[in-house]
Amino acid sequence: MKLVSLTIENFRCYKEKFKIEFDDFTTLIAKNDSGKSAILDAMNVFFNDTSLDQGDISVGSASDDITITCEFTEVPQTLIIDATNVVDLKDEYLLNSNGNLVVVKVYTGGKPKPKEVYLNSLHPSIDNANDLYQLTITQLRKRAKDIGVSLDDVKETIKAEIRQKIWSSFPDLELAEQRIQLKDKDEDQKRMWDKIKSEMPLFALFKSDRESTDQDNEAQDPMKVAIKEALESQRHDLDKIIQNVKEKVEKVSKATVDKLKEMDPDLASELNPKVLDSAWDKIFKVSLTDETQVPVNKRGSGVRRLILINFFRAKAEQQAIERNSPGIIYAIEEPETSQHPTNQVMLLESLFELVHNSNCQVIISTHTPTLARLIPSSSIRYIEKTADKKRILHKDDDETIKRIIKDLGILADHDVKLFLCVEGPNDINFFKEISKVLAQTEPDIPNLEDLENAGSVIFIPFGGSNLALWTSRLKGFNRPEIHIYDRDTIPPKEPKYKKNADETNLRDNCEAYILSKLEIENYLHPTAVQRVRPEVVIAFGDFDDVPIMAAQKLLENSDSPNSWDSLDDENKKKKESACKKWLNALAVKHMTPELLSIRDPQDELRNILRRVNEFVQRPMVINTVKAEIES
């Protein structure tokens, strides 16, 4: 499942109901004390059951109830509650009008504790059909009898089957939005809620102000997340182990009580054998030490945050190859904390890579211009604190960009000399690595990573659907732009983005280049591909789909019983995407100037990189936008 939105009410500065929507990558931008941390902490309460106190209730509120609501998409069609009980969430009317799952948690009291859990769903509202979730099995049977519904063809021990039988007897259920409470005291509902929880994404919050004790969360949390994620991927096997242990222990416990009855029946009657589960993740503990055996946790905060950065880099590379991890949400508060700008950029790039995994979402908060100017505008959620201390959420539009520029000073005195616009993160990886290879021996080729770290070049991964939007937005920065487009078509068909390229070339100090080959991967040499994956022996031309060819070859050489043609479109796309990542992140590292010359005899890529070098060598153009905004 993926998080669509969060709604909070009566939590800290959010006294009134406040809703925020999330994408795969979401950025919270605001001044200090505007409510960024409160949003992330509310999510931590919802997902990880962290404790609340009196100070979490909004000041001046007439109610002690804190309400946190999460809406999820990509919901499993069915939940297997047990061997004989499979629940279809749509048929059970537990989804909202968008087909999403909406979970509401209410906390109450001076030190707020969990009070109720609801599902907000499009549910039957007609009498005798609107309250079936509140009825016991006996009451359900009686309801069916009272309204003349026969249960002859259903299992009367399964509530879901009885509910379906009753609902199907009505010509119109008059569906309407309403809350369905899940009661812990109802065993069926408790099992359903436990199953829903198990399908929710893991949530990992990395705060900017961390402890500095041995085994503290700063260094431990990334490893703990890795442990949880690994355990989640083995959930089926672990559940079988738990069940097996329970059965054996309960058998011995029952036999013990039976023997006790022979000696002391009264005492035996007071005992009820019950096996309590223990958290698997408590079993494992990771210790990180340096070569002198000094715990990393005892090092400076910058070093500890550097571990966090490289945890995400490692996860990004791992998930570029493996796509089977459970859903997870990484929430990082002020990732720029204690880090050099170079490390900030590396972290951001790693996070961009992570979100391309279909099971991963990333949420960051920042008020630093260095990061804000690198982030796709579509991911921005700007929170404004008004004079009367209310919070207003601004999404991606031109007025929001102006507010951010004015409040954070993103354009003030920056050293950006060129915007380098490409289609996505994979293209960024390719151009950085190929420029690094060429720059070692060709002085007129710049190292793009060095230019980015210096703030001279800013990569913009605009994606095809955002081309027009980015083109209009970048105009105001008064900086040169180079746009690089894949051809994406086979001649004589016109290149996919020719119109966009033509429009860009009409603007001052802007140049657009359309590659002559199908995609950027077509400039790789098969030798470089094989050095990363020896089993991927492929010969490809200028208009072959290299990622698909690599994915097919990997599947062919794997132990999978499935053929490429037997896979559905979604699985094909996942495998293609995974190959696209390692081709652009890893295979390109094995390119040499000689191999590139073989694949690119016309020096298309070299000429583009030389043009980049010419732009960054120019004197700085004075930025007039800041003055225009302030006026």
Residue 271: predicted pLDDT: 59
State the pLDDT at residue 438: 97
Classify 222 as helix, strand or coil. helix
Q: Which residue has the tokens 């959010």?
A: 14
User: What does the pLDDT read at residue 272?
Assistant: 63
DSSP 131: -
pLDDT in tens, 306-351: 666 566 656 545 554 454 446 788 888 887 766 666 667 667 777 7
Provide φ and ψ at 107, rounded to 5°.
-120, 140
Given a contact cutoff of 8 angstroms between Cβ atoms, the answer to whether 183 and 116 are in contact is no
Contact 232, 359 (CB under 8 A): no
Cβ(14)–Cβ(43) under 8 Å?
A: no
* Structure token pair of residue 16: 């009134």
Residues facing residue 328 across a β-bridge: 202, 360
Per-residue pLDDT at 215: 40
Q: Which two tokens stand for residue 625?
A: 């936008």
- pLDDT reported for residue 519: 96
pTM of the model: 0.64
176-189 burial, b at 16+ Cβ within 10 Å, e below that, comes to eeeebebeeebebb
Compute the distance between CA of residue 59 and CA of residue 481 in angstroms, rounded to an integer: 49
- Check residue 423 and give its pLDDT: 86
Q: What is the DSSP letter of 34?
A: S
Nearest to 503 by CA among 474, 538, 541, 524: 474
Render pLDDT for 551-603 as a digit per residue (tens, 0 to 9): 999 999 988 888 999 998 888 988 998 899 999 999 999 999 999 999 999 99
Six-digit token string for 536: 């991927």
| pLDDT at residue 301, as a whole number | 60
Which are the contacts of 420, defined by CB distance < 8 A and separation ≥ 6? 431, 448, 457, 458, 459, 460, 481, 482, 484, 612
H-helix or E-strand spanning residue 122: strand 113-124
Cβ proximity of 132 and 186 under 8 Å: no
DSSP 494: P
114 by Cβ neighbours in 10 Å (0-12 / 13-18 / 19+) ranks as: middle
Tell me the one-letter amino acid at 151: L
- DSSP state string for 278-316: --GGGT-----B-TT--BGGGS-HHHHHHHHHHHHHHHH
Q: Which residues of the chain have pLDDT under 70?
A: 81-84, 184, 208-226, 228-230, 232-233, 235, 257, 259-260, 263-264, 267-326, 337-343, 345-346, 353, 356-358, 368-374, 376, 396, 398, 405-415, 463-477, 620-631
Strand 481-485 versus strand 510-514 pairing type: parallel
pLDDT of 413? 40
Burial class of 248 by CB neighbour count within 10 A (0 to 12, 13 to 18, 19+): exposed
Taking the mean position of all CA atoms in its chain, how far away is CA 548?
A: 25
**Buried b or exposed e, range 299-325, using 16+ CB within 10 angstroms:** beeeebbbbbbebbbebbbebbeebeb
Alpha carbon distance 357, 327 (integer Å): 9
d(CA 101, CA 297): 40
How remote is the C-alpha of 121 from its chain's centroid?
24
- Give the count of beta carbons closer than 10 Å to the beta carbon of residue 286: 12
